[in-house]
Chains A and B, each alone.
Chain A
């Protein structure tokens, strides 16, 4: 039967997906046709954006938006201009996102470990505060946040740092953003890690404890090495969240100063009194999206499997 041949060389499916489920209904061609049609819905905005980013202004208006440009309508000008305008934003975003992602994940892992180790009733309300922190509308903290950072003279306090190579006074803004994003990343990473740690087998930890290992040793030698899959999920999730964020950057940096992350620089790109330059906008959008798209293309399977392990 044809099902047999399918399962024989199936390398793409999950181990839990059985031959049986694939056979249900049996109308496999229809199934794949529907899946492909839905894939079109997910891909069209990306495809249209990509082809438009390579078109001259005339071609943007005169050719169908989903068709690639003809030989006379093709240009790399949009990408060159977008890269020129956004390059400092891309660097700022990278400088801000990487430390905030790593610190947030580390704090989350530590907090989750601490909260699985206590055999004490008080941990439930404390953990509940972390969970509730996940659902904070950023608007609810915005005015105090801008008041807080305007009260702290970070730029003057850190002035000796600006004498070092590669550091500029405007990096103070990025430090503000790193601290801010780290703090607001703690709740979600704590929740993700704790769910994972609750599922870990107690035996090894208990045995190490009876052997006299301290909490730090247990964390470093047993829990941390087992945290790999969850670190993958949290790092991917936090990297995309922080890289993609706009509101904090808008409020704490404002306008398009030298410390603006790339999302902030992208907002006004290609807009002028004469109208919108969609070719330039699309090139800018793809440059902005490139790091997170790459992360998902490379680590997407790991992310999906990590999410699977959690539910």
Chain B
């Protein structure tokens, strides 16, 4: 069998490939079955004769078909559980399913949504959701960036500090909630035992004014280490010459970071945001574990907790599904610009 290899690759790869080839005799059928090249041949008949043999060698269609067994099963599984379920959820939100029994799909309307947008509990939860999302992501990004810049300037102990900052990221929200319930404990917790020296002992969890801030502070503790890792990687990918050039220009350290270095970290911001968003969407776990029930303390109700409570505690299935659709639309407001920017960058 003469080698069709026309590329100029190294001898080692060649020997590895010829080894591969001996194993492959008679096993090329899945890539170049005659049934599919048939279609390619008819199309290329109009063009000059050179196209035909090329097409037979690496036919695009057969590559597509050959790739199907790889991505189609995972795609179908995900499609069923993600998109199938969301579609079904939307359908349920149009019914008035409540209590026990199956949903009645014969009369569909937007009544649940009308009720939703007139509900004070919903408006309140939506407001808290926005505050939580924005404060959480901004604080994580800022703290992560500061930590990364500081760590980037160390040689000793860098990996040790990185591990310490990343440790909370490995914990479950349920565990974080236990740890911070103890930190915030009104009588014996660390925070109040320090503050009581100044005569203060606020009820972090019970006071509606404070509870959301306390929740955000604990979530930032858990996730800023991950933002740090992403930023640190971004910083270390910036060539030393950029630092040197700024030095020679006489820029101060702060100016150098602000004008030269940070603008190059846009990619890191986006990839940190992905994980922060996934984390923020799971804030339900934290709140449920902190309060031990479906209803968080006043002032800490978010759409995620409201939805689960309405559906699984009050059995208002259709109403809960409508809240879920609102949450999904909120997520889409983040996803669509993200997808678009990835597409523009050619990353899709």
Contact = CB atoms under 8 A, between A and B. Distances in A.
A214 B28 contact: yes
Contacts of A143: 89, 92, 311, 317, 320-321, 324
Nearest to A39: B164
Contact of B80 (A48, A183, A190): A183
Interface in B86-142: 86, 88-89, 92
A289 B173 CA distance: 10
Main secondary structure of the interface of B (DSSP, over half): helix
B225 to A, nearest CB: 7
A263 B236 contact: no
A257 B273 CA distance: 36
B327 A117 contact: no
A1 interface: no
A17 to B, nearest CB: 6
A36 B33 CA distance: 64
A34 interface: yes
B296 interface: no
Nearest to B171: A289
Given A110-B74, A135-B277, A20 B244 contact: yes
B158 A12 contact: yes
Contacts of A117: 63, 66-67, 70
B219 interface: no
Contacts of B75: 111, 126, 129-130
A295 B47 CA distance: 59
Given A137-B328, A141-B81, A308 B232 contact: yes
B178 A282 contact: yes
A21 B282 contact: no
A46 B190 CA distance: 12
A119 B73 CA distance: 19
Interface string A106-132: 011011111101111010101111111
B240 interface: yes
A217 B27 contact: yes
B284 interface: yes
Interface stretch (B17-25, B38-46, B208-216): B17-25
A246 B285 contact: yes
A76 interface: no
Place the interface of chain B in its size category: 35 or more
Nearest to A294: B170
A67 B303 CA distance: 39
A251 B311 CA distance: 10
Contact of B82 (A133, A182, A301): A133
B289 A311 contact: no
A232 interface: no
A152 B225 CA distance: 41
A34 B150 contact: yes
B308 A300 contact: no
A226 interface: no
Contacts of B175: 244, 266, 285-286, 288-289
Given A126-B71, A129-B83, A186-B74, A214 B174 contact: no
A49 interface: yes
Nearest to B161: A35
Interface in B185-211: 185, 187-190, 193
| Most chain B C-beta atoms within 10 Å of own C-beta, residue among A17, A22, A113, A206 | A17
Contacts of B163: 296-297, 300-301
Given A210-B6, A214-B27, A311-B268, A137 B174 contact: no
Given A139-B323, A183-B80, A246-B285, A114 B304 contact: no
B180 A304 contact: no
Contacts of A311: 230, 233-234, 237, 267-268, 271
Contacts of A188: 278
Contact of B158 (A14, A211, A213, A310): A14
Given A65-B189, A267-B288, A215 B31 contact: yes
Given A20-B244, A211-B17, A308-B233, A144 B88 contact: yes
A295 to B, nearest CB: 7
Given A127-B348, A266-B178, A24 B342 contact: no
B180 A107 contact: no
A149 B274 CA distance: 29
Contacts of B282: 138, 245, 247
Nearest to B306: A139
A65 to B, nearest CB: 5
19 contacts: A12-B157, A41-B221, A42-B225, A44-B183, A45-B182, A46-B179, A113-B71, A127-B348, A131-B348, A139-B307, A140-B325, A144-B89, A203-B9, A207-B17, A210-B4, A214-B24, A251-B312, A282-B182, A292-B171
Interface of A: 6-7, 10, 12-14, 16-22, 24-25, 28, 31-32, 34-35, 38-39, 41-46, 48-49, 52, 60-61, 64-66, 107-108, 110-115, 117-120, 122, 124, 126-145, 147-148, 180, 182-184, 186-188, 190, 195, 203-204, 206-217, 219, 221, 240, 243-247, 250-251, 263, 266-268, 271, 276, 278, 281-282, 284-286, 288-289, 292-293, 295-297, 300-301, 303-304, 307-311
The 6 residue pairs across chains A and B that have the minimum distance between CB atoms: A114-B70, A114-B71, A244-B172, A308-B233, A141-B85, A183-B81
Interface of B: 3-7, 9, 13-14, 17-18, 20-21, 23-24, 27-31, 57-58, 60, 63-64, 66-75, 77-86, 88-89, 92, 147, 150-175, 178-183, 185, 187-190, 193, 221, 225, 229-230, 232-234, 236-237, 240, 243-244, 247, 253, 267-268, 271, 274, 277-278, 281-282, 284-285, 288-289, 292, 303-304, 307-308, 311-312, 317, 320-321, 323-325, 327-328, 330-332, 334-335, 338-339, 342-343, 347-348
Given A21-B153, A245-B172, 17 more contacts: A17-B152, A31-B150, A38-B165, A45-B168, A61-B187, A64-B193, A113-B67, A137-B324, A138-B282, A139-B327, A143-B92, A143-B317, A183-B82, A184-B82, A213-B17, A266-B175, A295-B170
